[in-house]
Amino acid sequence: MTTTGNAFVHHDERSGTWTVSGHPEILAALSDPATFSSNVPRLVGGDAGDDDGNLVQMDPPGHRKLRTLVSHAFTPKVVAGLEPRIAALTTELLDDMDGDVELVSQLAHPLPVIVIAELLGVPASDRALFRKWADVLIAGDAEFTAKDEDGAQKQRFEKLARDVQPMVEYLIRHAHERRAEPRHDLLTALVQAEVDGERLTDGQLVNFATLLLFAGHITTTLLLGNTVLCLDEHPEQAARIRADRSLLPGAIEESLRLRSPFTVLARVTNTEVELGGQVIPADQMVLLRVRTANLDPRVFARPDEFDPARDPNPHLSFGRGIHFCLGAPLARLEGRIALNLLLDRFPVLRTDPADPPVPLPSPNMTGVASLPLRTAY
Ligand code: HEM
């Protein structure tokens, strides 16, 4: 591979993308959305514009308006109010387990998907469908390229759009139902919401609901599996955490740092910019490798060590700046409740070398598609 640049910022000639791997360099990029735009589709075929409703790909001022609107649904008070429901759901899922466990299908996937479905107001009983669509999205994930000379990337995006069409229709149907019959759910709030005196279009609504539905569960599913894997890899730390549950939130942060569910965030440059001693021209795709930045020795002492007591722990796994993960408090709460109850229920939880975890087939995400666990020695 031909590259120019340094260890923290370099250009890859093959894919035509820039890679940023240093922690301070990524922070600088995330703090400057005017230069580092989130409207990535404009470079890879298809301009999202700044009002298509997919919050994570929008720039100011459209981003701020939509984010303000939905932030009400995720205030610390609203999220804290979900605690009893999350605990009850976890207990139900644990009660259904019998003998050895497959963590992803029995807890790590159903819990976050039911929570986000209930928040949005789509039937949680449709969760087999959501899993199918999530699998389609994950299967469509591949390394980004800014060149795409053979058009393979464009074809992949087109195929993905076709494959997710049933999901688009499903969400539009539910949004129309909420227009006719409002309820106390997020979908109703979205159909009634006005940004600058205008209602969201069906397209904006679907894009936003899709983002919430999938950002709201795929990553939390990964977080739960990843944290159990961290504990399995560090039995002495796991014993400490079992004995002193005040260490669990720190263990979840370390799991996020070492096994960041999203490994890379993408941006495009609006103008030429200097970053980490390199000059990046305008209209370049820039890949911010957060998982690598989470190991930056300039910021983290003993970066490879799993240390639940690490404080501070400024990992970048929820991003930073204006796009900082809206669901971070919810993901942390789900992680804390689910893992606490899981540890209470099973005094032994170990991977089985004869039936190893199956990694997720995605270059841009870290996690497992299945995690068989032994519950007895
Ligand atoms: C944004 C990670 C859980 C909703 C983000 C971003 C990251 C992230 C890295 C920033 C993307 C960027 O800057 O380009 C995660 C991880 C999670 C998680 C690791 C779990 C462990 C959730 C949950 C929800 C959610 C539970 C919803 C209930 C969102 C939304 C955005 C976002 C709406 C876009 C925010 C914006 O653009 O202003 N997430 N997320 N996430 N996340 Fe999460």
pLDDT, one tens digit per residue, over 247-262 is: 999 999 999 999 999 9
Ligand 1 pocket test: which of 318, 322, 330 has the largest number of ligand atoms within 8 Å of its C-beta?
A: 318
Q: Is the pLDDT of residue 47 over 70?
A: no
Give the model confidence (pLDDT) of 332-376 as tens digits. Answer: 999 999 999 999 999 999 999 999 999 998 889 999 999 999 998
Provide the mean pLDDT of the chain: 91
Query: Is the pLDDT score of 119 beyond 80?
Result: yes
Question: Residue range 108-132: average pLDDT?
Answer: 90
Relative to the CA of 57, which ligand 1 atom is closest?
Answer: 37
pLDDT in tens, 314-336: 999 999 999 999 999 999 999 99
C-alpha 320/C-alpha 26 separation (Å) is 9
**Is residue 293 very low, low, confident or very high in pLDDT (cuts 50, 70, 90)?**
very high
CB 326 within 8 A of CB 56: no
* Cβ of 317 below 6 Å from ligand 1: yes
Atom of ligand 1 nearest to the CA of 320: 13
Whether 73 shows a pLDDT value over 80: the answer reads: no
Which range, of 67-71, 100-104, 142-146, 301-305, averages the lowest pLDDT? 142-146
Please give the pLDDT value at position 280.
98
Q: Which residue's alpha carbon is nearest to atom 34 within ligand 1?
A: 56
Our answer on whether the CB atom of 319 is closer than 6 Å to any ligand 1 atom is: yes
Confidence of residue 291 (pLDDT cuts 50, 70, 90): very high
Our answer on whether the CB atom of 144 is closer than 6 Å to any ligand 1 atom is no
Q: Rounded to the nearest whole angstrom, what is the distance from the C-alpha of residue 362 to the centroid of ligand 1?
A: 17
Give me the interface pTM, i.e. the ipTM: 0.99
pLDDT of 51 reads: 62
Predicted structure pTM score: 0.94
Query: Residue 49 pLDDT > 60, yes or no?
Result: no
| Ligand 1 near 212 CB (within 6 A) | yes
pLDDT of residue 234: 98
Residue nearest ligand 1's atom 3 by CA? 327
pLDDT of residue 46: 59
Q: Distance between CA atoms of 330 and 80, rounded to whole angstroms? A: 8
User: pLDDT value at position 2?
Assistant: 58
- Tell me how far the alpha carbon of residue 7 lies from the centroid of ligand 1, in angstroms: 27
Question: Which residue has better confidence, 14 or 281?
Answer: 281
pLDDT in tens, 207-252: 888 888 888 888 999 999 999 999 999 999 999 999 999 999 999 9
**pLDDT digits 0-9 by tens, 165-183:** 888 899 999 999 999 999 9
Closest residue by Cα to atom 2, ligand 1, is 318
The order of strands in the sheet holding 350-351 is 101-102, 372-374, 350-351
Give the residue extent of every domain in the chain. Answer: 3-373
Residue 45 pLDDT: 65
Per-residue confidence (pLDDT) for residue 10, from 0 to 100: 96
> What does the H/E/C string look like for the chain?
CCEEECCCEEEECCCCEEEECCHHHHHHHHCCCCCEECCHHHCCCCCCCCCCCCHHHCCCCHHHHHHHHHHHHHCHHHHHHCHHHHHHHHHHHHHCCCCCEEHHHHHHCHHHHHHHHHHHCCCHHHHHHHHHHHHHHHHCCCCCCCCCCCCHHHHHHHHHHHHCHHHHHHHHHHHHHHHHCCCCCHHHHHHHCEECCEECCHHHHHHHHHHHHHHCCHHHHHHHHHHHHHHHHCHHHHHHHHHCHHHHHHHHHHHHHHCCCECEEEEEECCCEEECCEEECCCCEEEEEHHHHCCCCCCCCCCCCCCCCCCCCCCCCCCCHHHCCCCHHHHHHHHHHHHHHHHHHCCCCEEECCECCEECCCCCECCEEECEEECCC
Domain 3-373 fold: Cytochrome p450 (1.10.630)
CA 163, CA 186: separation in Å to the nearest integer?
Answer: 25
Atom of ligand 1 nearest to the CA of 56: 37
In sequence order, the 6+-apart residues with CB closer than 8 A to the CB of 343 are 241, 242, 245, 248, 349
Mean pLDDT over residues 272-291, rounded?
97
Indicate which atom in ligand 1 lies nearest the CA of residue 261.
19
Centre of ligand 1 to C-alpha 199, Å, is: 24
User: Among 102-106, 157-161, 289-293, 300-304, which is the least confidently predicted range?
Assistant: 157-161
| Binding site membership of 367 for ligand 1 (Cβ less than 6 Å) | no
